């Protein structure tokens, strides 16, 4: 687990440095094909209203803020918040009476996210350092958990799902995007299609996602593909609710 986590941390540390002036941020070092990963999956209007560094640092496989149905006054947690793009967009949706937490394990990404939030005057956000397997928030403290192509990076997904369930209030929900594998692909076949830090080798299958969310205590679960990212590998919208 520590080896995988360190490889992921190094990858996103390099990305955070890459979006700074003079850094590298083309598809070869920051997220692959534009049509399947990254800021191109957000509305043009959203991208235009965000700091360039937040847009460039986006490596997600979707737009969780578009599917989470955020409402004014809600408290939101973004797992693996990166450069802060989803935190900033969520902060606008929940308004001044709401609150958005961004959780990331990389100091450089946290520094970048805080700068991006300050640049747009997002006062209702807070960035926390920590792991998605051990969220530094109390039980029942948020209404919504979002995440963008991050859970597949965890080597301990059942613990991630348990933590999501723990921090949600009764009736709370998740609205995330993630990379998911076809049910007939073995773990070895997934690894052949891409690396762990490339968001493919660690992907759960559709059936595994459903089973593990159910085991964590979630109801009303749906895992729906949106587009392909590799042979038998898909970006998917995942929704569920805590009873």
CATH of the domain at 236: 3.40.50.150
| pLDDT tens, the chain, 243 aa long | 556 555 555 555 455 445 444 333 333 333 444 444 455 555 554 555 555 555 554 555 667 777 788 999 999 999 999 889 899 999 999 999 999 999 999 998 899 999 999 999 999 999 999 999 999 999 999 999 999 989 998 989 999 999 999 999 999 999 999 999 999 998 888 877 755 445 566 889 999 999 999 999 999 999 999 988 888 999 899 999 998
Phi, psi of 38, deg, nearest 5? 100, -170
* Number of other CB atoms surrounding residue 170 within 10 Å: 8
Q: How many domains does the chain have?
A: 1
Give this prediction's pTM. Answer: 0.80
- Domain residues for the domain of 189 are 2-242
pLDDT of amino acid 99: 98
Start-to-end C-alpha separation, the chain: 31
| Residue 212 confidence (pLDDT) | 98
Q: Rounded to an integer, what is the distance from CA 153 to the centroid of its chain?
A: 10
User: 116 is written with which tokens?
Assistant: 């991006």
Per-residue pLDDT at 5: 58
Burial class (CB in 10 A: 0-12, 13-18, 19+), 27: exposed
Helix (H, G, I), strand (E, B) or coil at 4: helix
Task: Output the pLDDT for position 26.
Answer: 37
């Amino acid at each position: 687990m520590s080896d995988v986590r360190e490889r992921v941390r190094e990858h996103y540390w390099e990305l955070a440095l890459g979006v700074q002036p003079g850094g590298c941020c083309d598809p070869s070092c920051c997220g692959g094909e534009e049509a399947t990963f990254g800021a191109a999956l957000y509305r043009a209007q959203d991208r235009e209203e965000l700091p360039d560094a937040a847009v460039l640092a986006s490596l997600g496989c979707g737009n969780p803020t578009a599917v989470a149905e955020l409402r004014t006054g809600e408290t939101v947690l973004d797992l693996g918040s990166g450069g802060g793009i989803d935190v900033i967009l969520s902060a606008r949706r929940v308004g001044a009476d709401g609150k958005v937490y961004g959780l990331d394990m990389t100091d450089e990404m946290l520094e970048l996210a805080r700068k991006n939030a300050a640049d747009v005057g997002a006062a209702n956000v807070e960035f926390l350092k920590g792991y998605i397997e051990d969220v530094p928030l109390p039980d029942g403290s948020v209404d919504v958990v979002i995440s963008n192509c991050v859970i597949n990076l965890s080597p301990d997904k059942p613990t991630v799902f348990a933590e999501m369930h723990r921090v949600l209030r009764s009736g709370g929900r998740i609205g995330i995007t993630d990379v998911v594998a076809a049910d007939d692909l073995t773990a070895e076949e997934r690894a052949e299609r891409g690396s762990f830090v490339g968001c493919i080798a660690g992907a759960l299958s559709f059936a595994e996602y459903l089973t593990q969310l159910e085991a964590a205590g979630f109801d009303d679960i749906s895992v729906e593909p949106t587009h392909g990212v590799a042979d038998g590998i898909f970006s998917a919208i995942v929704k569920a609710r805590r009873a």
